[in-house]
Structure 1
C-alpha cells in the first residue's frame, strides 16, 4: 500500500457512491467527467459541422470521423511516455491543474475556429486536445491508488469508468444538438467548450495534494526511447503487462462496435441517425452499469475473477447480436419510435446492452489490478505504457474492420468474428495468467455453490510477506481462501492431492507447493520449505494447514511445527484464519469419503471465514495458533 494513501474506516464509505461526498475523490471525479465530456462535445460538434454544414476540401465529410479520430489518438503514441514520467516526478494535483489550464487555452482557440469556420484551426485543436488527454491519462489512473484503499479501488475505478462513458454520451449529444442550431450553432458550441474547460479548472483546484512518487526522476524527452523503456518497465511484471494487453484488447473490441454504429443503424437496422444515437446510449448505459456492478459483485475487493465472466459475456452477446441482426425485414428509414416498436429490435438492444455491461465487468478489475500491483515509484509510467498499447490496438481495430469489410463481410458478420476472436484472445490471456481463471473458479464457488461470508478480511495484508494459518476441513478450503484474499496465495499442500486429475491440475495452476511427511519423502519435505521461504522472500502470502491433513471427524486437530520452521528464517506476521460450517459439505470427509454425495447440503449453503489479527513472530507457537484458530471458529 502506498504510504501516501488515505485511510478511512469502512463505516465512512459504505459504497462507491459515498466517495462523491469526499474531497479525496469528488473533485477528481468531476474534473475527469468534465474533461471527457468536453473532448467529445468538441469532437462531435466538429464532425457534424464538416459533415452537414461546412464544405471543406481539406476534410471531406466521408473522412471526417476517421481524420478527427486519428488526430486525437496520435498524441497518445507520441507523448504518453513523457506524460508518464511527468506524473511520477511531480505532484499529481498540480499537474492536473496545469493540464486543465491548458484545456482552457485550447478551447478558446477552438472557439475562435468554430466562429470563423476555420477547419485547419479546429483540426489543430483536435490534436492539442489529444495532447491534453495524453497528459491527463497517467495522472488519472495513478491518482486513484494514492488516495483510495484496496477495498475502495474497484468502486473508485467503477465510478470513473461509469462517469467517463456518461460524459462521452452527454458530450456527444450536446455537441450534436448545439452545432445544429440554425445560424448560431457554432457560437453556442464554442461557448460550451470554453465553459466546460473553465468549470473543470475550478473543480481541479479542490483536488488534494498528491505527492510525487519519484521526485528525483530525470526526464527523458526522447519519445521513442522512452516509449520502449516504458514498455520494458511494464513487461517486468508479467501479470501487470498481460493485464495491459487485456485492457487494450477491450478497447479494440469496443471500438469495433462504436465505429460501426452509424452504418449498422442505417444499413442493417434500417434506422435514421437518431437510431444510431440510441445504440450509443444503450452501449454507454451498459458500460456504466457494468462498471458500477463491479464493487457489488467483488464485495469491495479487487476481484479479478470478474474478468473471465466479463469475457464470456462479451463473446456470448456479440455472437448473439449477429443472429439477432440477421434477416430483419427491409423498411424505410425508421425513427426511434418506429424502431423501438418492432419486437425484433429489442433483442438487438438487449445484446448491445449486455455485451457492454460485461465489458464493464471485464475492464474495471483489470484497471484496479494494474494500479494495485504496479510499484508506486513508476505506476504512472506503467499507465503510460497502457495508453500507448491502447492507441496501437485502436489503430489495429480500425484496420481490422476495414480489412473484413473489404473482403465482403457484412457488419453483423464483423460482430460475429469479433465475438469469436474475443473468446480466443481471452482464453489465451487466461492461460498465460492463470490467476484470472483461478479467481473466477473461486468467485463462482463462493457465489453459486456456497453463500460465503468473510469477516476480518482487512487483517489479510494487501502487500508484503505473511504466513496464513487455517484449519483444514475440506478439499475446497484453498479455493475459499483464494476468494477471500486480495492477492494470490501460495498454498503448502499434501503432495497426494496433486495426483487427483482435476484438483491436481487446478492446484498446479495455482502454484501450490507440494509437501510430504519428512519420514516418507525427505526430499519433497525439504523442497517444500525451500520454495515457501523463496515465496516469502519475494513478498508473497504463504498458507499452511498446520493440522497436516483434512479433518476426518470435523474437530480441530493438533498443530504441527511447520510454521515455526518458516519463522526461523523469515520472521513475518502470522494471520490465523478459521473456516466455519464446512464440515458435512460435499468436499469434506463427513460420512467417510469426500466428494461422494453430490448436493449433500444443497446449493447456497452458508459457510464463513474469519481472519484474526496478525501475530508477531515472537508471539507465535503451535499451541498459541491452535488456541487462536479455535477462538475464531467459535466466534
Structure 2
C-alpha cells in the first residue's frame, strides 16, 4: 500500500507542499481579516456590505479568467521553481498593500491587494500540480496530489480561523486588525523562504511524446485562453476530467455559498457553528484526499469517482432531510447548544461524509490531469482546467442567486445539489470507461 506521507520527508516534495500550504493559509488569513474588518468595523449598511462582497468576489476571480492561459504557458516554458520564487516575492509586496489597508481601514488598498492575490493564485495554481510529475515518481503523483489537496483545505481552515481571531473588537466598540497586518506579512516572508528550497524544475522536452504538437507563447490573453481551452477540451479524456472537476466545484460553490445562511436561518445557530461547519468540511476533504490514495494504492484511476460522487449525493440528500425537519429556535444558539440538539451530531457527521466523499472524487482527477499529458503540457492543462472551473463556479453562483430570488429555500438548494451528484457520477463513469 502506497504511503504518501514519506514524501513529507523529501526535498523534492516538502518545499513545494509547504509553499502552497502557506500561500493558501495567507490568502484566507487576509481575506477573512479584510471581510470582518469591512463588514463589522467600517460599513454599517447592509447594501454597502452586499456590494462590497460582490465586488471583492469578482475582483478575486477575474484574474483566473484573464490570466490562466498566460500562467500555464509560462509555467510550461520556464523553470517552475524560478516562477515559484518570483510569485512568492511578489506576495510580500502584495501583503504590504494588504497590511496597509488593514491598518488604515482603507478599502481601495484592501481591494488592490485582494485583486493582486487573485493574480498571485492564478500564476501559482498551475505550478503546484504541474511540478509534481517532474519531482515525483509516477506511483507517487496521486499520493502527492492528495497531500497537496489535503494541505490546502487545512490551510484554508487555519487561515480562516486565525483571520477571525486577529481582527479584535476593543472596549469602545471599534474593530482593529494590527495583528492581522503583521500576520499576513510574516506568513508571506516564511512562504518566500520555503519557496527558495523548491528544487529546479526545467521546462520539459516537447519531444518526449513523438508527434505531440509544440506550442509557443501567445501573449494575447483572450485568444490564448480560447485556444488553450479548446485545444485541451478537444482531447476526450481531458474533456471528461475537466468537466467532472468543474461540476464538482460548481456543487462546492453552491454549498460554500449556502453555509452561512444555512447555519443562521435553517439551523438557527451563530458564527461559531459556521466555523465548526467549515472545520469539519476542511478536515473531511483532507481525510478523503489521503484515503483515496490508499484505496488506489498509488494508481491514477477514476474507478472510484462514480461511487464517490453518489456517496456525496446521498450525504447531501441526508443534510437536506435534516435541514428540512430542523425545529425553529427563538434565538441563535452556540456550538455547545447546537451539538446538544438531538440531530446536532448527525448534521456534523453528515457534513464530514460529504467532505470525505468530495475529496475522494476530485483528487484522482487532478492527478489524472498531470499524468496523462506530456510534462511539457501539464501547467497548460491545469490552467485550462482553472478557466473552466472558474466559469462553472460563477454560473453555479448566478443560478443559486436566481433560485433564491424566485423563492427557492436554502434546504431546497441542497436537494438540487444532491441531484447534481448523479451527473457528476455519470461523468466520472464516462471518464473511467475512457481511460481505465
1:209 is matched with 200
Distance 2:242 2:53 in 1: 27
Distance 2:108 2:23 in 1: 23
1:31 is matched with 19
Distance 1:18 1:245 in 2: 32
- Contact kept, 8 Å, 1:91 with 1:210, in 2: the verdict is yes
Distance 2:220 2:360 in 1: 37
1:170 is matched with 158
2:180 is matched with 189
Distance 1:383 1:88 in 2: 11
Name the larger-Rg structure. 1
Change in 2 beyond 3 A, CA 1:59/1:188: farther
Instruction: Number of aligned residue pairs: give it.
Output: 425
2:51 is matched with 63
What are the equivalent positions in structure 2 for 1:212-291 lying under 5 Å apart? 212-213=203-204, 218-291=216-289
Change in 2 beyond 3 A, CA 1:104/1:59: farther
Q: Tell me which of the two structures has the higher relative contact order, counting C-alpha pairs closer than 8 angstroms and 6 or more residues apart.
A: 2
> Which secondary structure does the structure 2 equivalent of 1:270 belong to?
coil
User: By how many angstroms is 1:56 displaced?
Assistant: 7.5
Distance 1:84 1:303 in 2: 24
* Higher relative helix content: 2
- Contact kept, 8 Å, 1:50 with 1:59, in 2: the verdict is no
- Contact kept, 8 Å, 1:37 with 1:170, in 2: the verdict is yes
> Which secondary structure does the structure 2 equivalent of 1:343 belong to?
coil
TM-score scaled by length of structure 2:
0.94
> Which secondary structure does the structure 2 equivalent of 1:60 belong to?
helix
User: By how many angstroms is 1:149 displaced?
Assistant: 1.6
Distance 1:296 1:302 in 2: 11
Change in 2 beyond 3 A, CA 1:351/1:44: same
- Contact kept, 8 Å, 2:15 with 2:197, in 1: the verdict is yes
1:19 is matched with 7
Cα deviation 1:511-560 (Å, max 9, x = unaligned)? xxxxxxxxxxxxxxxxxxxxxxxxxxxxxxxxxxxxxxxxxxxxxxxxxx
1:390 is matched with 389
Aligned counterpart for 1:93 among listed residues 75, 81, 103: 81
**Cα RMSD after superposing both structures:** 1.9
Where structure 2 has 5 or more consecutive residues not aligned to the other structure, the ranges are 207-213
- Contact kept, 8 Å, 2:308 with 2:425, in 1: the verdict is no
> Which secondary structure does the structure 2 equivalent of 1:433 belong to?
helix
What are the equivalent positions in structure 2 for 1:224-623 lying under 5 Å apart? 224-331=222-329, 332-427=331-426, 429-430=427-428, 432-435=430-433, 488=436
User: By how many angstroms is 1:152 displaced?
Assistant: 0.8
Cα deviation 1:574-611 (Å, max 9, x = unaligned)? xxxxxxxxxxxxxxxxxxxxxxxxxxxxxxxxxxxxxx
Change in 2 beyond 3 A, CA 1:303/1:397: same
Distance 1:305 1:333 in 2: 43
Distance 1:108 1:306 in 2: 44
User: By how many angstroms is 1:55 displaced?
Assistant: 2.1
Where structure 1 has 5 or more consecutive residues not aligned to the other structure, the ranges are 1-9, 437-486, 489-635
- Contact kept, 8 Å, 1:51 with 1:62, in 2: the verdict is no
* Higher relative strand content: 1
- Contact kept, 8 Å, 2:232 with 2:238, in 1: the verdict is yes
User: By how many angstroms is 1:302 displaced?
Assistant: 1.2
Distance 2:410 2:46 in 1: 29
Distance 2:303 2:90 in 1: 40
